[in-house]
A and B are shown apart, each in its own frame.
Chain A
Amino acid sequence: MQNQRTVVDGLRVAVRALVYAVLGGTALLAIATVASVLGPMLALDLYTPPVAAWWTVFTAIAVQGVPFLLLGTVVSAAIGAFVPEEVFSRLLPRNQALAVPVAGAAGVVLPGCECASVPVAGSLMRRGVAPAAALAFLLSAPAVNPVVLVATSVAFPGQPKMVLARLVASLATAVLMGWLWARFGRDEWLRPPRRHTDPAATGLRAFTAGLQHDFLHAGGFLVLGAAAAATFNIVVPRSVLDLFTGSPWMSVLLLALLAVVLCVCSEADAFVAASLSGFSPTARLAFMVVGPMVDLKLIALQAGTFGRSFALRFSSVTWVVAVASSVLVGWWLL
């Protein structure tokens, strides 16, 4: 009885395996044949100039982002592994309303573009820095560091007011966003970036583990953002913009949108802004203030680090605040 059952069971398994093997094998064979015949034909047909340009822009954004992303993840992994938790609570004022501007001004010390600041802000939160302060740092770091300001002054020769306006408008946006988060932000929107390794592990091992994970994770989202940016770059010709240079209001909104879809790195966006010669100085200021704070690649990176519901809410409010502050600062200074 018992024996018979095992035999029947065995047979059934064998038959099933055979059926799977035959079906799967046939399917694989068919796919392989079709792919090997159609593949090269299709590849040649599809590799048109726009597709080639898409690949170039896509890889360019990814390649350009890698060193900065690595810098950001090295800093963030070092904070996670080597800096004890008390340091930040001692350095930053206890009062959140005060901590936000201090953190915003501290953005000066991270000389990189926006890819670097997302992982660093994540590790600051893990180290017990209030989210509002960490977010102010996230927004200000790529916009107000010396490298970016020098690039801006090179791109706008003889216009030191442009550099000042960029500094003021970016800091104002970052601090305002920090305060808004402190007042209205809810912790459940923010998926706290948790440490994935053994919390007891410190030192070199935690550093490499954190670095590997953070880089791979953020790198994936960087690629996602690069794909989106390359698509916009190819699908929407920049000359469409010239239709709107006439109206000052439209041009501000348009360049602020362009900054989101173009994803130009914050160290280069001043040059792009300078080349948009048909637009008012305020519109170009908006381009440079919005760009380092909200763009497709950043939204993808933030969604990966802090969760999608956070990234969408935070980015859309930041966009509005950044546009408003550049209009005000532009009206005052430019």
Chain B
Amino acid sequence: MRRYGPAVLLLLTGAAILRISLFSELYLRYVQAGLRPYLVVSGFLLVLLAVAAAVGGRPEREPHAEQGQHAEHGEHTGRDQQREHGEHGEHSEHDEHGDDQHGGHHSPRVAWLLTLPALALLLFPPPALGSYSAEREAAQRAAQGIGHFPALPAGNPVALTLAEFSSRAIYDSGRSLWGRTVRLTGFVTRDADGTWYVTRLLVACCAADATTSEVEIRNADADAPPADTWVTVTGTWHPKGRLGTDEAWPPVLDTTGVRRIAQPANPYENR
């Protein structure tokens, strides 16, 4: 393990990265879409490095051995093994203190932490963030001023992201949503009093910076689906409150249709 430690670690990390970015779209649960090419390149680079580490192995014997010691090794070949052993003991002691200035050819001990996310990604990829995270954070509304928004694209119903719908509902002085049927996609979150929302998390770079946008669903003929169910809803905007005020928040949709769907490949909306 000592000999192949770095190779194993690099291979695990590279394989985990490739598994989520090249062989599936799981990376979308963790980072935004634009990072994919970089992930694929990094994955290949790590696998290459692992191969180099396994093949190249141990180019010099002991990196910190002085020339004189090398000579000694030669003379006492019988005790060589024992000596090597002693030196390895020293190594691990140093590594334990995070002080691995000698450790050219076996991995620093802290590097084994990499197995944690790598194995998690390979064996049981953590799920996308859902209603738990959405409910913990008060839904954010993008800070912007009231203004005239560009016209909505044609189409009936017109598919919008929750973020787009929310900012048009709250800040558009041109009222471009007026009279249009829209289609929104997200997962279900519910209040204690029975109100339910279609919710989506917004990710700018990685899941650590997720923020929430939500739209309240009214007049749906069916009962609210259980939390975390993915749905597509169609309906029309239900204006309330004055533009740009807290009363206008969260925006409301008079809903005519609710359809359950599978979780989309990209569970988040990108900014």
Contact = CB atoms under 8 A, between A and B. Distances in A.
A60 B206 contact: yes
A229 B206 CA distance: 13
Nearest to A66: B42
B117 A58 contact: yes
Given A197-B63, A211-B49, A272 B204 contact: yes
Given A59-B120, A197-B63, A304 B98 contact: yes
A53 B110 contact: no
B237 interface: no
A271 B205 CA distance: 9
A55 B133 CA distance: 12
Given A196-B101, A268-B204, A67 B211 contact: no
B38 interface: yes
B112 interface: yes
A221 interface: yes
B209 A262 contact: yes
Nearest to A221: B110
Contacts, number: 183
A264 B121 contact: no
Contacts of B29: 56, 60
A212 B27 contact: no
B96 interface: no
Interface in B85-114: 98-105, 107-114
B117 A64 contact: no
A70 interface: yes
| Most B C-beta atoms less than 10 A away, residue of A55, A224, A242 | A55
A265 B129 contact: no
Contacts of A262: 208-209
B141 interface: yes
B206 A64 contact: yes
Contacts of A277: 140-143
A267 interface: yes
A209 B137 contact: no
Given A220-B113, A268-B209, A271-B204, A53 B104 contact: no
Contacts of A215: 10, 46, 49
Given A57-B208, A208-B56, A223-B113, A66 B17 contact: yes
A70 B45 CA distance: 9
A212 B53 contact: yes
A209 B60 CA distance: 11
Contacts of A313: none
Nearest to B20: A63
A208 B52 CA distance: 8
A55 B126 contact: yes
B136 A275 contact: no
| Size category, A interface | 35 or more
Interface in A104-156: none
Contact of A217 (B31, B111, B136): B111
B39 interface: yes
Given A220-B108, A237-B137, A272 B209 contact: yes
A212 B208 contact: no
Contacts of A59: 30, 117, 120-121, 125-126
Given A59-B126, A70-B46, A275-B211, A219 B205 contact: no
A238 B20 contact: no
A221 B108 CA distance: 11
A162 to B, nearest CB: 12
Given A53-B129, A213-B108, A277-B140, A64 B59 contact: no
A224 B113 contact: yes
Contacts of A274: 142-143
A220 B112 contact: yes
A175 interface: no
A61 B208 contact: yes
Contacts of A219: 13, 111, 113-114
A230 interface: yes
29 contacts: A53-B129, A56-B30, A56-B127, A56-B129, A59-B126, A60-B31, A61-B208, A63-B27, A66-B13, A70-B45, A197-B104, A201-B59, A208-B56, A213-B104, A213-B107, A216-B107, A217-B108, A219-B13, A220-B110, A221-B110, A263-B208, A268-B205, A274-B142, A275-B140, A275-B143, A275-B211, A277-B140, A277-B142, A303-B98
Interface of B: 6, 9-10, 13, 17, 20, 27, 29-31, 35, 38-39, 41-42, 45-46, 49, 52-53, 56, 59-60, 63, 98-105, 107-114, 116-117, 120-121, 125-130, 132-133, 136-138, 140-143, 204-209, 211, 271
Given A224-B110, A269-B209, 10 more contacts: A52-B127, A55-B126, A57-B208, A60-B29, A196-B102, A197-B104, A198-B63, A226-B117, A233-B208, A262-B209
